[in-house]
Structure 1
Amino acid sequence: MDVLIERACGLDVHKKSITACIVTPEGKEIKTFRTHTVFLLDLIDWIKQHRCTHVALESTGVFWKPIVNLLEAEEIQFLVVNAQHIKAVPGRKTDVIDAEWICNLLRHGLLKPSYIPDRNQRELRELVRYRRSLIQERSREHNRVQKVLEGANIKLAAVVSDIMGVSSRDMMDAMIEGEEDPEKLAAFARRTLKKKKEELELALRGNMSAHQRIMLRTMLTHIDFLNEQLVELDMEVAKRLDPFQQDIERLDTIPGIARRTAEQILAEVGTDIGARFPSAAHLCSWVGLVPGQNESAGKRKSSKTRKGNKYLRSALIEVAHSVCRSDNYLALSTDASQPEKADTERPWRSPTPS
């Protein structure tokens, strides 16, 4: 095969060490570096000394990020490649052989780079992904609060729609302070919840012990802290996405997509979608929402979707679930595209042998 890149470098990246292989017209050289910043700078200087124009490395966990940050600063072209695409031929395997294999694939133009956005979008991604993690943690704390209340035989969730609402929060704060009278607790109800005062008195008649009060106080304090952190992250994300308000507003018009989901879509995909994805089908495939193809002898077999971008995938799945349960044109079109089959249309199956 023809050599397309004369001066190339392949990196086999690990947590504590990096094995690098450089191939140039003068020959081949292999070195091992540690992953501290001081040694990474030595690696960059070594690559520049050999005038390498391209560097390829596996997308192993988060270990590729420090290297990419330095290569980007030096304006050296890099390729972060899916590890499944560059598996060597089965046989002997060492870090040196892996680095040589990556370098050879790079020189012959056989590597397909992964989508690595620019630094600003990478920073936005980290903020949005961390915000999503905090939201998930807050949801877990809500579930823990519900378990504590059930353990105390308090059926507050059977009456109110949101146990973290203003009225419910006032009731739980009173419980933490030692209040046990159901009538006094039900008096914290506000607005339309006042109509359910009798039901509330029955639901609030329980037996909360001392250790449950401690747990409830700790959980509510943690929830308050998470809410404060989420406000800070919301402000930072909104500041970074301020130039793209028009894109966010357009996404917000789609049923099921609110502002936070729109921000996550822009953070994961970017604003210049047309340059990265030729069509909507390419974008869906990259996210991992398109099933694979497994057909043989005219028969279609079971096929799974690829992993794709798990953050954007989970967000879009949540959007799809909310759309299906609401009254809008997308939900109606989904129902119309899946008509119910009559019994005569179901495929016949032979009975199971006894």
Structure 2
Amino acid sequence: MEVMFERVAGIDIGKATLTVCVRTPGDRGRRRRSETRTFKTTTGSLLVMRDWLLECGVTIAALESTSTYWKGTFYCLEDHMQVWLLNAAHMHAVPGRKTDVKDAEWIAQLLEHGLLNPSFVPPPDIRQLRMLTRHRVQLMGDRTRETVRLELMLEDASIKLSTVASSLTTVSARRMLAAMINGQTDPVKIADLALGKMRVKIPDLAQALTGNFTEHHATMAKAILRRLDLVEQAIKESDEVIAAACAPWQHEIELLQTIPGVGEKVAQVIVAETGADMSRFPSAGHLAAWAGVAPAVNESAGRSWTAGTRHGNKWLCAILIEAAGSVSRMHGRNYLAEQHQRLASRRGVKRAQVAVAHSILVAAYYMLSRDEPYRDLGADWYLRRNNEAHTRRFVRQLEKLGHTVHLDPTA
């Protein structure tokens, strides 16, 4: 098999150590030579590894994306040689290759023959933005978990506040919880703390707040609310930091917000995960497959069948599904809402959300590639498309019968 790269390195990474196999041409036309060494994953050892690879004349290195352990090695080498990050699923398991040394040698052999494809690793500034947006998602997950703990604790006290209030984190709900924690036991007085639109629900609130809220429940609720306040403050600070970090891509973020269902946070995640540089993806289909919103199709013996969605970027996929959920509440006022409504009636809500998420990402691909805002096809696009198709079919049928057809649309 032809050798595509003369001097390569395959790296098998663990938490504490990594194994490096260097493949170079042999002396006087002999067979290719392999040399394997093991290094610690500390910064000092990584620098020693880098100097050894440069001394060997390595021009390209490949490593598996093992958890987050690959990052230190990748960052150490990326400024000095070409580094490929590999998806472990793309390298088929070979019987007998179950040690770090053999894994590193196998990676090097595949690399030198050009049998590997690198994964997309964004530049440093996008990587930093990614860390910020992903951290915010984790904080929002913490907020959800604390809210669920609070609701379960109130259920234990037979307090049904969550059945009347839209959320336990609203101002009215927090005022009521604070009164209960401070020792107020009269449900009518507690319900009277409701504000705004919640005041019309005071009779229902009084019934929902009648329960067995003890001092033990008050202690737990106080602790949960304190953690909720800390998480809310962290999310607020994270939003400010992300907004400042997104300044270089403010134009792209404004463009993306012209898509129905895409707000500022969704646009920020799209920029952070894709880098806003669509030239890295050959087509919109490649981007959709990479994000995990494209259908996986299996084929065998001439028969093909769908197998759900592909594995992809879970952070981007999740935010696109969330944006599709926002579109579904627009009730057919645009093309995406109409698409969701038509698919949900036939295929179900989940499939419709994936399809709309796919459409949003494809639109984002062309918008960022062409630097132009979103152009909506209109809520009646499906109707117009069907009418045009019916017209063409009827014209063909009349022409087959020997008629010459001239269309004169009515006003």
CA distance in 2, matches of 1:46, 1:240: 36
Q: Which amino acid aligns with 2:67?
A: G
Q: Which amino acid aligns with 1:158?
A: T
User: Quick one: which of 53, 65, 76 aligns to 1:70?
Assistant: 76
**Aligned partners of 1:88 and 1:101 also within 8 Å:** no
CA distance in 1, matches of 2:103, 2:62: 12
**Aligned partners of 2:97 and 2:103 also within 8 Å:** no
User: Quick one: which of 235, 241, 244 aligns to 2:246?
Assistant: 241
Alignment of 1:163-182 (within 5 A): 163-182=168-187
User: Quick one: which of 101, 109, 119 aligns to 1:114?
Assistant: 119
CA distance in 1, matches of 2:145, 2:234: 16
- Residue 162 of structure 1 corresponds to which residue in structure 2? 167
Q: Which amino acid aligns with 2:3?
A: V
Residue by residue over 1:107-155, the C-alpha shift from the partner in whole angstroms, topping out at 9 and shown as x without a partner, is 1111100001111111111111111011011011111111122221122
- Residue 283 of structure 2 corresponds to which residue in structure 1? 279
CA distance in 2, matches of 1:93, 1:187: 68
TM-score (norm 1): 0.91
CA distance in 1, matches of 2:158, 2:337: 39
CA distance in 2, matches of 1:204, 1:92: 64
Identity %: 43
- Tell me the C-alpha RMSD between the 2 structures: 1.8
Check 1:181–1:230 CA distance in 2 against 1; reply closer, same or farther (3 A cut): same
Check 1:226–1:121 CA distance in 2 against 1; reply closer, same or farther (3 A cut): same
Alignment of 1:19-58 (within 5 A): 19-26=19-26, 27-58=33-64
> How many angstroms does 1:232 deviate by?
1.4
Check 1:168–1:290 CA distance in 2 against 1; reply closer, same or farther (3 A cut): same
Residue by residue over 1:9-65, the C-alpha shift from the partner in whole angstroms, topping out at 9 and shown as x without a partner, is 111111111111111224321111111111111111111111211111111111110
- Residue 142 of structure 2 corresponds to which residue in structure 1? 137
**Aligned partners of 2:6 and 2:24 also within 8 Å:** yes
CA distance in 1, matches of 2:60, 2:105: 14
CA distance in 2, matches of 1:321, 1:187: 34
Alignment of 1:1-354 (within 5 A): 1-26=1-26, 27-72=33-78, 74-273=79-278, 275-327=279-331, 328-329=333-334, 330-336=336-342
Aligned residues: 339
Q: Which amino acid aligns with 1:309?
A: N
CA distance in 2, matches of 1:135, 1:340: 33
CA distance in 2, matches of 1:337, 1:151: 40
- Residue 351 of structure 1 corresponds to which residue in structure 2? none
Q: Which amino acid aligns with 2:96?
A: G
Deviates more, 1:184-193 or 1:112-121: 184-193
Q: Which amino acid aligns with 2:313?
A: N
Q: Which amino acid aligns with 2:325?
A: H
What are the ranges of 5 or more consecutive residues in structure 1 without an aligned counterpart?
342-354
**Aligned partners of 1:44 and 1:70 also within 8 Å:** yes
TM-score (norm 2): 0.79
Q: Which amino acid aligns with 1:232?
A: E
**Aligned partners of 2:164 and 2:208 also within 8 Å:** yes
Partner SS state of residue 293, structure 1 = strand
Q: Which amino acid aligns with 1:128?
A: T
Partner SS state of residue 83, structure 2 = strand
Q: Which amino acid aligns with 1:258?
A: G
> How many angstroms does 1:297 deviate by?
4.4
Residue by residue over 1:238-266, the C-alpha shift from the partner in whole angstroms, topping out at 9 and shown as x without a partner, is 11101222221222222222211111111
CA distance in 1, matches of 2:144, 2:346: 36
**Aligned partners of 2:253 and 2:264 also within 8 Å:** yes
CA distance in 2, matches of 1:296, 1:104: 30
CA distance in 1, matches of 2:97, 2:196: 72
Check 1:92–1:125 CA distance in 2 against 1; reply closer, same or farther (3 A cut): closer
> How many angstroms does 1:305 deviate by?
2.4
CA distance in 2, matches of 1:107, 1:340: 49
Partner SS state of residue 143, structure 2 = helix
> How many angstroms does 1:93 deviate by?
2.8
Check 1:336–1:201 CA distance in 2 against 1; reply closer, same or farther (3 A cut): closer
Q: Which amino acid aligns with 1:324?
A: S
**Aligned partners of 1:88 and 1:98 also within 8 Å:** no
CA distance in 2, matches of 1:293, 1:271: 28
**Aligned partners of 1:18 and 1:34 also within 8 Å:** yes
> How many angstroms does 1:334 deviate by?
3.0
CA distance in 1, matches of 2:345, 2:135: 40
Residue by residue over 1:164-203, the C-alpha shift from the partner in whole angstroms, topping out at 9 and shown as x without a partner, is 1111101101111111111221221112222222222222
